[in-house]
Structure 1
Amino acid sequence: MDVQAIRSDFPLLDQEINGHPLVYLDSSATSQKPVQVIEAVNQYYRLNNSNVHRGVHTIGTRATDQYEGARERVRQFINAKHTEEIIFTRGTTTAINLVASSYGQANLAPGDEVVITEMEHHSNIIPWQQIVKKTGAKLSFIPMEQDGTITIDQVKKTITAATKIVAITQVSNVLGTINPIKKIAAIAHQHGAVVLVDGAQAVPHMKVDVQELDCDFYAFSGHKMCAPTGIGVLYGKKTLLELMEPIEFGGEMIDFVNRYDSTWKELPWKFEGGTPIIAGAVGLAAAIDYLTDIGFAAIQRHEHELVQYAFEQLSNLDGIEIYGPKERAGLITFNLADVHPHDTATILDNEGIAVRAGHHCAQPLMKWLNVTATARASFYLYNTKDDVDRLVAGLTTAKEFFGDVF
């Protein structure tokens, strides 16, 4: 894997911030976009811009072919069994809300349980909070170990006959914890529960096979995996999606409209009301091609080496606390002693280093960690050990600036 060649594909990285070459360590929030994706979207708008599924003219047909071709490309990418199991959404948040509002609303009742964890992103907490309030069901949490992992023993204790839905992240956006989804799904299915996986932090970094995982729903976003913003995917098993009602109504998703009633199109279009995110789907297909050409084994190996190197280097700094397990996905969340992470991030930005600071849309996890906020450095295929060294140097500068607290 030629990282320098990969970096040349990302034009945004070739700039200075505050007089320093940019070090971008915020890919968990959103990844940068390679020229191959930018050009694919540009070409769609220049040559094929038209609405889909409607016109019989040539440009409309080309746009429809690209849009539906992108759907098939996603199917192959996550190894779904049927193309109609791929629903395009605005992102992970929309996908999870669709399942909660459609499947959850119809299948939860008083006494039922939705099982989640405290490491979930708000997008996989709030929709379930709202649905259990409406249905009389309740939330149940799988306890976490001290290092931010969960054990199969605790999974078995938490998932019971009352459990109807298990909603869990594959990779924590704060701790980097990688959860054993396949084992969790097997336990859930033994109790008749369905499993939704938040794959926003997994799909960009590792090969995902939804049939192997045997999850019932899988949600992810394009913008974290080199694709444009505003496009995401909900995978659902066909048998479940066919039973679910749409939650958005209007054009595109209808079959026949009468004065007092309407019928819906078949899968997947009954869940895609309105003009879809055509250019986003084109960009997502290009991003899948780009990442697949590099190879996820190489990407995962590169990120593992980077995060282990970063873990070792940061661990050697006095006054730094790192959160989460040693074996993790490609991010490190940390705090400098008695320094607010926003101040840490500001000093790093002055050095041209972009990290995330705040609660990372995971306030229950912040409470579990007994902090109000943290700083996070997240790595991707275009980062290098030099970037890690710059981060360490930047944190050393921050320590010198706030010297009184060390």
Structure 2
Amino acid sequence: MYKDYFPYFKNSNIVYLDNAATTQKPQVVIDEIVNYYSSYCSNTHRSNHGNANKATQNYEHTREVLKKFINAKEKHEIIFTKGVTESINFIVNSYAKNRFKKVIISSLEHHSNIVPWQIANIDFEVVKCNENLDFDYEDFENILKENPNALVSITHISNAFGKIHGIKRITNLAHKYGAKVLVDGAQSLTHKKTDVQDLDIDFLAISSHKTFGPTGVGAIYIKENLLNDILPYQTGGATINDVTYERSILLDSPFKFEAGTQNIAGVIGFGKAIEFIEELGYENIEKKEIEIYTYLYEELSKIDDIIFYSDIKNSIGSLSFNIKNIMAEDVGILVDKMSIALRCGHHCAQPIMKSLGIEGTIRVSIAFYNEKEDIDKLIIALKKAITMLKD
């Protein structure tokens, strides 16, 4: 069983179905982080003693691993950040703020792809979705026609509903009208291969902790021909080639964008998480997840008064629903007492919830280590909770 790789499942009896919030970490990732702190804890890109060189080498190894993982052309297209939220804020403030009058987003965006644009006073257009929450490509093209040379900023997979956006089709349309494309990849690398060259993405925001790696680490991929248009988000230590009191000369990418001491252990651990995924193989991950996701939908469909907001076509990972006349949060409280971990609420996606006329949903989000047994336990707990709340 895949759970054997993850110490969490050896130490807990919790049925963990909150993977869209964060994934569990395999032992190899934990060991890699502990090894850094225990054996060669040093700063990177500064000192030249042995442990410092090893830390720098392993830190930069993750950049190389991530480059190959997403099929970027060059290592310097990969810049480490705290995660997707910081990556999007980086692009907003270092690139988009003084360049675009309009941003185009989907109806299913996380707050991290809404609020930064509002704070920067950049207007945005929202692409409609149909009754199954699928992206409306006709509406998208009409918006592009009216707003050529805009920036399209879109999630690859909805954290709230699991809907998969057709990024290649979206990118082709966007580039046809001179637009650039920023993709929120927070949920996608967990479930499926993402090839930035094949998809022709201009920017890809990446998170480690959604991808079996440590928290507080991520990256932003920037297509090489755009790097000179990006201003440093922060400056200071490790970004400098030469400094006088009159002027400063920055290093080239990626170093000029990574000011200060980074989350070295986190980056090194992220590299190990990527290698772990590659060893398992996406073909095995996707096969297992489709099986569990389909089983989840089928079993939930048997529950009386269940309300879905989309089917599972073009979806993976997260599945949202409600029970008629029952508050989602009440269900969450009760199933938690039955050792089921899931999420209830708006999932940082309030605009789409309001469009659907609801406050939030019950969200079950799976990973490849989940088993049918987990779903069976979930269904038993849900039925008990529903009975208690209806009595």
> Shorter-chain TM-score: which interval?
over 0.9
Residue 62 of structure 2 is aligned to residue 96 of structure 1: no
Per the normalisation by structure 2, the TM-score is 0.97
Aligned to 1:230: 216
Aligned to 2:119: 130
Q: What CA distance in whole angstroms lies between the structure 1 residues aligned with 2:306 and 2:79?
A: 43
Corresponding letter in the other structure for 2:265: A
Q: Is the 8 A contact 1:15 1:22 kept in 2?
A: no
Q: What CA distance in whole angstroms lies between the structure 1 residues aligned with 2:317 and 2:284?
A: 13
- Deviations 1:133-164 (Å, cap 9, x if unpaired)? 1xxx5210111111111132222112125241
Q: Please identify, of 38-47 and 324-333, the stretch whose mean Cα deviation from structure 2 is larger.
A: 324-333
Secondary structure (helix, strand or coil) at the match of 2:236 reads coil
Q: Please identify, of 157-166 and 292-301, the stretch whose mean Cα deviation from structure 2 is larger.
A: 157-166
Residue 336 of structure 2 is aligned to residue 349 of structure 1: yes
Structure 2 unmatched ranges of 5 or more: none
Secondary structure (helix, strand or coil) at the match of 2:213 reads coil
Aligned to 2:71: 79
Secondary structure (helix, strand or coil) at the match of 1:357 reads strand
Aligned to 1:159: 144
Residue 389 of structure 2 is aligned to residue 397 of structure 1: no
> Alignment identity in percent?
40
Deviation of 1:395 after TM superposition, in Å, equals: 0.6
Corresponding letter in the other structure for 2:286: Q
Q: What CA distance in whole angstroms lies between the structure 1 residues aligned with 2:242 and 2:327?
A: 57
Secondary structure (helix, strand or coil) at the match of 2:173 reads helix
Aligned to 1:253: 239
Q: What CA distance in whole angstroms lies between the structure 2 residues aligned with 1:245 and 1:106?
A: 11
Secondary structure (helix, strand or coil) at the match of 1:339 reads coil
Q: What CA distance in whole angstroms lies between the structure 1 residues aligned with 2:249 and 2:362?
A: 49
Q: What CA distance in whole angstroms lies between the structure 2 residues aligned with 1:242 and 1:69?
A: 24
Q: What CA distance in whole angstroms lies between the structure 1 residues aligned with 2:200 and 2:146?
A: 19
Corresponding letter in the other structure for 1:338: N
Write the mapping of 1:262-301 to structure 2, written as runs, cut at 5 A. Answer: 262-301=248-287
Residue 8 of structure 2 is aligned to residue 12 of structure 1: yes
Corresponding letter in the other structure for 2:105: I
Secondary structure (helix, strand or coil) at the match of 1:370 reads coil
Q: Is the 8 A contact 1:176 1:324 kept in 2?
A: no
Q: What CA distance in whole angstroms lies between the structure 1 residues aligned with 2:238 and 2:245?
A: 18
Q: Structure 1 stretches (4+) deviating beyond 3 angstroms?
A: none
RMSD of the alignment, in Å?
1.2
Say how many residue pairs are matched: 389
Q: What CA distance in whole angstroms lies between the structure 2 residues aligned with 1:144 and 1:201?
A: 19
Secondary structure (helix, strand or coil) at the match of 1:177 reads coil
Secondary structure (helix, strand or coil) at the match of 1:196 reads strand
Q: Is the 8 A contact 1:195 1:215 kept in 2?
A: yes
Write the mapping of 1:141-180 to structure 2, written as runs, cut at 5 A. Answer: 141-160=126-145, 162-163=147-148, 164-180=150-166
Corresponding letter in the other structure for 1:220: I
Q: Is the 8 A contact 1:172 1:201 kept in 2?
A: yes
